Amino acid sequence: MGSTLVGHFTLFLISWLVIITKVQSDNKVFNVINFGAVADGKTDNSKAFVDVWKQACAYSGRGVVLIPKGTYYASSMVFNGPCKGQTLFSIEGILKAPIDKKEWVGLESWISFRYIVHLEISGGGSFDGQGSYAWPYNDCQTNPHCIQLPTSIGLEFVNQSLMKDIKLINSKSFNMKVFGCQDTTFENIKIRAPATSPNTDGIHIGSSTGIKIFSSNIATGDDCVSIGPGTDNLLVSGLTCGPGHGVSIGSLGKYPNEADVTNLVIQNCNISGTSNGVRIKTWAPSPPSNVYNVTFENIGMNNVDNPIIIDQQYCPFETKKCGNGASSQVQIRKVKFNNIYGTSKGKVAVELKCSPSKPCVELSLKNINLNFPGGATSSCSNAHGTATGHEQPPPCIN
């Protein structure tokens, strides 16, 4: 499956290069400074940025939105397509989000890109969410009706696009959400937030297909990569993750009629100092859905609390007002854990806690080598499949 996904990426890259070759001689640069933007870190530049975007988006060649070096402040912005040609959002400077609560409370995203094909976001600059001003308002662990904090960057229905060489710092909530997107690639993305920052997932993906994440470094207070309902044909390769909560599929099963999660490959990653390594989590109880054709392979763990975990009794609230004994109806099948190695911070290095009413089936563990002083152990319930090759800890799978 991994080679197939890499092949698809190669075809995507070739087509992308063809597009760039056709339009690179027809670039037109729209410098935000020429439209009234001020790099003083306090003037609200949102109107100037949106005005520049509209002109670049309307250009029939390759419109370049240029944010030169410097520090810029901007309130919430929406960059809408479709655009006439390819659009490049080139950020070389630092863009800072609002800190005043009245400017962000209730917002879904600080910056949104919507309905765009052939978008490129690059330039080596930074998006600073200034999350420390908002994190004290996050009480979602104890309050199911907590206020919504904004994601730093939202990509919605963005297709055949590329984001590379970008930094995201201290988002108020998720750093990036990818929704309804197709054939979009993320490369050399650096994301930073303190380990104690709440709900600062690095990249969250949902209802999207053909997403690829390469050679990125993510350190947050939540999942480095979180994979939601409707994700299909995902490749994550060369990720460095930690601190944070690892790479997670889910949580799934919170809402009715969630689309299946299928055809995922997470490979060649290093996970260090996280609360989880590779994880699948589903609510209990839950409506029915499916997770299948998933491969975790060639992943190094360094001092990770739960290197391999399936948790079908997921309940994040401290009040534990969840299932009252009811079970998850999310079916997990055809999941492979290949060549997972390193050190576990907890004695239970492999925990497969599957649903009693929908047991996990066709699980595969191959060449697992996870160490803990005195010997690591495995814990399984309702987990069916095979274990082959070198297995440390000893497998418990049925």
What are 280's strand-pairing partners? 249, 310
| 311 in active site | no
Q: Which helix (H) or strand (E) holds 333?
A: strand 330-344
Long-range pairs for 32-41: beta carbons < 8 A, 24 or more residues apart: 32/65, 32/66, 32/67, 32/68, 32/72, 33/68, 37/67, 37/72, 38/72, 39/68, 39/69, 39/70, 39/71, 39/72, 39/93, 40/71, 40/73, 41/71, 41/72, 41/73, 41/96
The whole-angstrom distance between residue 374's C-alpha and the CA centroid of its chain comes to 35
- Which two three-digit tokens encode residue 161? 């696009």
The whole-angstrom distance between residue 75's C-alpha and the CA centroid of its chain comes to 23
The SS3 call for residue 2 is helix
- Which two three-digit tokens encode residue 28? 């037109």
| 384 in active site | no
The SS3 call for residue 167 is strand
Catalytic residue among 128, 183, 201, 222: 222
Query: What is the C-alpha to C-alpha distance for residues 301 and 340, in angstroms, rounded to an integer?
Result: 7
Catalytic residue among 183, 245, 305, 311: 245
Lay out the sheet containing 151-159: strands in order across: 77-80, 109-117, 151-159, 176-179, 203-206, 225-227, 247-252, 276-283, 306-314, 348-353, 377-381
φ, ψ for residue 261 (rounded to 5)? -115, 120
Query: What is the C-alpha to C-alpha distance for residues 28 and 7, in angstroms, rounded to an integer?
Result: 33
What are 365's strand-pairing partners? 337, 387
Residues marked as catalytic: 222, 245
